[in-house]
Structure 1
């Protein structure tokens, strides 16, 4: 009876954390079509916009740094409740900012809430995996991509028809409603492990940093599509805001489908082979997007890129969490921190380059970074493992 009750609680927790992933992706996707609006509404340059997006990344990485400590003391369920409910208001705060200084503060808060939510929801998904004795991480990221697709696809049309503020208010209401219901059913750890944070030692295994570098290169490309694809289609390929918002939506939608299929593909072909093929597909998509003469070809190319990138990050996170000679938490923290640093550094650099060049060559250059991941794919061999079988009872 107790076993049945535990399993039922875990299944509810599995769908609850999936709903949080969905809401986080929806908020992130809804931000993409708001980016061109910020540029015109505040009358700023691409470089200044890049700095504002940099603050989003800074907020995210700052929260991620503290989130591990908070989870160790209070558990992932409690921390996810805090960040989730606060994070649902992040986009609205940005949309309400009337000038650059307040927009800067709003972006830092928005990034921090999304970043903290990200770490806590991934940590909670691991708790659910242990309870269910099966992997749910890839499909959880699939729900995130599904949310990103919905946010990006509907955002451009909503902003064009009803204005950026009405769009932000509806997004906030929907995200808050989903999160408020989901947090009631999240699974808690048996006992949060309070660790000593006075000493910090870097892992000695150099392989984990190379895996982190691959995550960094992959997430630079993913972040570039989120932050700049809509502006690229609008300013350089001459489409309207509604169509421009479809770039990230197509990227995210295809990524969602592939992430739901990711565990099966990886089990069939192996993590390293899947990573190699994925990196080549992503590089080809990014290359065509950068050279595209029309918006619809660019949108199709971004979708193809999403097909490739979909399972690269989950495989690299898995490789980081299974390094020899270190705990899974230590390896995972190195890879995730390095990976998310791509979202911190890339946007402002891309904005600066775009001021003096154009977005097309930038996307072409990003395809080269994905080729580097293809060449390094063998280093992710620690992701080649099978989940422990469920106990027979």
Structure 2
């Protein structure tokens, strides 16, 4: 308990063991999200499902995630940070165990939703606390935290590949066990958030505050749309322009890997440059890479560049949001939930655009979204106070 109080008194919410446990938690939520896809053949065999019915598992997981973000945000002021995270881990453990042992598909879907509630609580809780809990190092620590999500997203499919899809219950069971262990690792988390840094009131009052929040919502939705769009349509585009299925699949894996690498690489930069400058460079970089993807021979390398540039956007934008809207406590929850909704809605909407314009237009459609993200970033940079640099 002394260590917890010391961390909080120093302006930090996390003791070192608690910070390490939080990174492990992001490995966990990355694994949980990533195992649903590779487990589909096993789920279909176990419950006699069609492909679309099997895909409902991940949909219910994301639905639970959105509800979890908003629900835990609504009660956060009435419970401690450690209790919020403990409850989230408990729901994840219950959900993962439920998917592993469910005797029928409706109960498995209910379990996926319950696990999603916990997923949303962990995603919201740790992102929000890391955004304010490490002082000037918060942006760097957020990138480290979210990089561990990528590690989990790589490990999840690897576990299913090693076990075989028919043994998916063991993968979900392992996730449940790790969730239960993490419930015991929340003692080093402070009980209150540090007071937000003072910021000048917007010149146009509440109206400008609302416009800034809308700007951040647009920024996150557009970036997640690009992220999910590349992940979902890169393989098809690469095969269409002449690459083999094996090369296309490998290139897509490299794209996701670059997202993890990019978050680690940006850490030292966050200690020298403002979040708004980093995000402006990232938006310009991924737009340029998507234009480069119009050249068939360069497309795999261009998509890898998109992964590198888009990697810092989600974690680096949260400290900027908290500084721009220090008194809007729900702002973080809204942008996190919006990002989840964007991840669900973007692939089918892009699919409709591709139906009208053809597969070769994938880079064009994604460039439009990325350019809109760049415009939103530039507008927010002008509309919010500039961060001081030490």
The CA deviation at 1:374 is 1.8
The CA deviation at 1:11 is 2.5
- 2:73 equivalent to 1:72: no
- Aligned-residue CA RMSD (Å): 4.5
- 2:323 equivalent to 1:317: no
SS at structure 1 position matched to 2:315: helix
SS at structure 2 position matched to 1:375: helix
1:13 paired residue among 18, 27, 46: 18
Which residue matches 2:67?
62
**Counterpart-to-counterpart distance in 2, 1:6 and 1:117:** 24
**Equivalent pair of 1:32/1:230 in contact (CA under 8 Å):** no
CA deviations 1:151-188 (Å, max 9, x no partner) are 34x14532548743344334444x33652453344343
Q: Give unmatched runs, 5+ long, in structure 2.
A: 196-205
Which residue matches 1:220?
225
Which residue matches 1:265?
269
The CA deviation at 1:383 is 7.7
**Counterpart-to-counterpart distance in 2, 1:166 and 1:233:** 34
Q: 1:69 to 1:33 in 2, by over 3 A?
A: same
**Counterpart-to-counterpart distance in 2, 1:182 and 1:302:** 38
The CA deviation at 1:213 is 0.3
**Counterpart-to-counterpart distance in 1, 2:180 and 2:18:** 17
Which residue matches 1:22?
27
Q: 1:70 to 1:358 in 2, by over 3 A?
A: farther
Which residue matches 1:335?
335
The CA deviation at 1:117 is 1.5
**Counterpart-to-counterpart distance in 2, 1:260 and 1:113:** 26
CA deviations 1:60-98 (Å, max 9, x no partner) are 111111111222111221111111232145455446667
Which residue matches 2:145?
140
**Counterpart-to-counterpart distance in 2, 1:372 and 1:168:** 38
- 2:38 equivalent to 1:33: yes
Which residue matches 1:373?
373
Q: Give unmatched runs, 5+ long, in structure 1.
A: 193-200
- 2:197 equivalent to 1:189: no
- 2:161 equivalent to 1:157: yes
> Matches of residues 200-239 of structure 1 in structure 2 within 5 Å?
204-224=209-229, 228=232, 239=245
The CA deviation at 1:310 is 0.9
- 2:368 equivalent to 1:385: no
**Equivalent pair of 1:49/1:351 in contact (CA under 8 Å):** no
**Counterpart-to-counterpart distance in 1, 2:305 and 2:373:** 17
**Equivalent pair of 1:76/1:189 in contact (CA under 8 Å):** yes
The CA deviation at 1:14 is 2.3
CA deviations 1:295-338 (Å, max 9, x no partner) are xx75x6554322111111223323322225x5152433343333
**Counterpart-to-counterpart distance in 1, 2:34 and 2:251:** 11
* Number of residue equivalences: 369
**Equivalent pair of 1:317/1:332 in contact (CA under 8 Å):** yes
**Equivalent pair of 2:90/2:180 in contact (CA under 8 Å):** no
> TM-score under structure 1 normalisation?
0.73
**Counterpart-to-counterpart distance in 2, 1:167 and 1:4:** 33
CA deviations 1:130-149 (Å, max 9, x no partner) are 59888522222222222223
**Counterpart-to-counterpart distance in 2, 1:64 and 1:357:** 36
- 2:113 equivalent to 1:111: no
The CA deviation at 1:120 is 1.4
**Equivalent pair of 2:139/2:315 in contact (CA under 8 Å):** no
Q: 1:267 to 1:311 in 2, by over 3 A?
A: same
> TM-score under structure 2 normalisation?
0.74
Q: 1:186 to 1:207 in 2, by over 3 A?
A: closer
Which residue matches 2:200?
none
